[in-house]
Amino acid sequence: MNAEYVIVGAGSAGCALAYRLSEAGKRVLVIEHGGTDAGPFIQMPGALSYPMNMSRYDWGYQTQPEPHLGGRRLVTPRGKVVGGSSSINGMVYVRGHAGDYNHWAEQGAHGWSYADVLPYFKRMENWHDCGHGGDPEWRGSDGPLHVTRGPRDNPLHTAFVEAGRQAGYPVTDDYNGAQQEGFGPMEQTVWKGQRWSAANAYLKPALKRENCDLIRAFVRKVVIKDGRAVGVEIERGGKIDVIHASAEVILSASSLNSPKLLMLSGVGPAAHLAEHGIEVIADRPGVGQNLQDHLELYLQMACSQPITLYKYWNLFGKAWVGAQWLFARKGLGASNQFESAAFIRSDKGVDYPDIQYHFLPIAVRYDGQAAAEGHGFQAHVGPMRSESRGAVTLASSDPNAAPNILFNYMSTESDWSDFRKCIRLTREIFAQDAFKPYVKHEIQPGDALQSNDELNGFIKEHAESAYHPCGTCRMGDANDPTAVVDPDCRVIGIEGLRVVDSSVFPRVTNGNLNGPSIMTGEKAADHILGRRLPASNAQPWINPNWRDAQR
């Protein structure tokens, strides 16, 4: 078994890499531990709460007890299936803000500024504005990844955007275009009523080529000889084999599994590897460090009119939605229901948005538990640029052991003040006239909780991961001792080895990470092939009053 390029992980970045490298005539082998993505639970957008909670599709990781969240262990789903986390995520499509990528470049990820990455976002997209406005100049029209908008039939979606306008915030037609800041429609990776995962967009077309193959196996480590990666050790059917890579091994195994594989292979913090009896091949103290994520809360309101999705939250309703989807790919099952969004700045002096909203016309938890109140709606809200950093470390030298994951959430004072601000700003939005016909009362946190201490208690108990882990193999200057990969995604100190996934992000981007992860695969493929798209001259919108006003 051998290929030129062996890609570990058929997730968001790995699928894009497989497509672009095989398109260029390279022999590519993708190794994925998980199984098929066939079946309604994955392919039906409205069923998104199911695959994330199914051990068949998820690695089943959870954090160590988080010290600042009362010792809670938070679930950390990662896709163990063809398509990776793009097959189990919420299908929300956000590029991130120009300021995020300019910050990457300032941190040593040269060539990854917004001007450099925008052409790749355009190349990957097949954007359907569906007559809703938006910004065709900034968008791509013939890429593999279909990006659409939900129908926004529910009046609550309009009420949310109108309430934002009434509260004094900008409105934006396209947060993925020139202007992220403001309230407007949300975008989703859904096409013709079906989840448009990286597997559907990239891997399945790539596998039709003779020079691209997929095998199911569990990768135990990278095989490194004389300072060069020559293949990977795999386990399948109870046997251990080596698959050889004549050109490169590329880890696209997630921000949790890529650093784990590096450490098992002898690349990582020397003292930590020695603790586990692993021979140190390259001492890279940054491997597994710099772990970050987005935390969020949902503020839930009881609705005074029976217009929410709760009316389908019963056996008959779910059967009806499921049947409509199965036979026609239409109806509520054809959308992820995240159809309105907002990005706002938390304060004056903040130059670009640092708070994100997902709006949902039902009051329900990620695990599918509806609010006891019945009809309701909710806004998911959280700060985008927390300063808290955690780590992924080895629990054992046994490849089958899950890694130790500690995000160290809420470890800075600013995290708490930022979250309290999120709650208070959201309450203000829900108090606008646009919501007057619909708001009955606040379910969660509840009007009784007002003081800083009361809100802190609520945050400690109810903050949840938005499932955006990244940063554990940080990209930076090749001379930076804390960087893991250089700006070509090559592991510093080892030949023939790259990491290409959200691990390499120096800092978490604004919003959901699927879009930036796919872009990373797209762009890294060009780095490997020795070519680049020309940089963009487009100038994104920055609020002219950002120094003096919060809105």
Q: Tokens in use for 242?
A: 């080596």
Taking the complete model, does pTM exceed 0.95, yes or no?
A: yes
- The partner residues of 216 in beta bridges, in order of sequence, read 32
| Cβ atoms within 10 Å, residue 208 | 8
Q: Is the peptide bond before 469 cis (omega within 30 degrees of 0)?
A: no
Q: Tell me, rounded to whole angstroms, the distance of Cα 300 from its chain centroid.
A: 23
Q: Tell me, rounded to whole angstroms, the distance of Cα 60 from its chain centroid.
A: 17
Q: Tokens in use for 545?
A: 């009053």
Any known ligand binding at 92? yes
Any known ligand binding at 89? yes
Distance in angstroms (rounded) separating the CA atoms of residues 162 and 494: 54
pLDDT at 370: 75
Q: Tokens in use for 515?
A: 């879009």
pLDDT at 130: 61
CB within 8 Å of 226: residues ≥ 6 apart: none
Any known ligand binding at 70? no
Angle at alpha carbon of residue 407, lines to 391 and 85, rounded to 5°: 90
Distance in angstroms (rounded) separating the CA atoms of residues 286 and 478: 12
pLDDT at 53: 85
List C-alpha distances in Å: 399 to 304, 321, 344, 354, 502. 53, 42, 42, 37, 21
Contact in structure between 482 and 283 (CB atoms under 8 Å): no
Q: Sketch out the chain's domains with CATH numbers.
A: 2-34+198-286+470-529 (3.50.50.60), 151-185+295-383+410-462 (3.30.410.40)
Any known ligand binding at 364? no
pLDDT at 131: 62
pLDDT block averages, 10 residues each, the chain of length 551: 93 98 98 95 92 92 98 97 97 98 98 98 91 79 96 97 98 96 97 97 98 98 98 97 98 98 98 98 98 97 96 92 94 95 98 98 80 90 98 98 98 98 98 98 96 98 96 98 98 98 98 98 98 96 97 97
Catalytic one among 33, 68, 358, 468?
468
In the three-class reduction of DSSP (H, G, I as helix; E, B as strand; rest coil), residue 378 is classed as strand
Residue 276 falls in the annotated catalytic set: no
| Cβ atoms within 10 Å, residue 99 | 19
Q: How would DSSP label each residue in 248-314? A: EEEE-S-TTHHHHHHHHTTEE-HHHHHHTTPPPSEE-TTTT-SBB--EEEEEEEEESSS-SGGGG-S
Strands 28-32 and 2-8: parallel
534 class by beta-carbon count within 10 Å (0-12 exposed, 13-18 middle, 19+ buried): exposed
In the three-class reduction of DSSP (H, G, I as helix; E, B as strand; rest coil), residue 474 is classed as coil
